[in-house]
Amino acid sequence: MNKLKNIFLLLTVACVGFIWINSSFDAVESSGLSGALVEIIHDLLHIDISESLIRKSAHFTEFAGLGFLLTSDFVFFGADVKSHFQDIAFLGLLTAAVDETIQLFPQGRSSSVTDIWIDFMGVCCAIAITYLLYKRINIKGLLR
């Protein structure tokens, strides 16, 4: 179980790093990544999708991943998720606020309160789903 703790903690740090590194790209680089994803989705699924929807979905998805990892960290360190929901959610919210602050600095980028809320909803949804999943599989009896 000790290895699992370390693996999840490392994955959490890597996830936060990934999120913050993406926020450090300037507008041209960021738009290029989003545009490439729009093209891939169009080519594979033959769906027209806006770059804005891709960006908002990416915010939600990245932070849902973070919510899963943070919740897992708390579980593997023996904390009761129900009692620590607000702590896990706060860490996700703090990460989102720092993320949007980072976006103030690269050329052509800006910050958005809406994105913070989207990020926070991704974290909160993932906390709930992860808790229910772990409770369902009763992962090593860690959940109460």
- For the chain, the domains span 2-141
pLDDT per position as a tens digit, 87-140: 999 999 999 999 999 999 999 999 999 999 999 999 999 999 999 998 888 765
Q: What is the pTM of this model?
A: 0.89
Helix, strand, coil percent values for the chain (each to nearest 5): 80, 0, 20
pLDDT per position as a tens digit, 54-100: 889 999 999 999 999 999 999 999 898 999 999 999 999 999 999 99
Lookup: tokens for 92: 């996700």
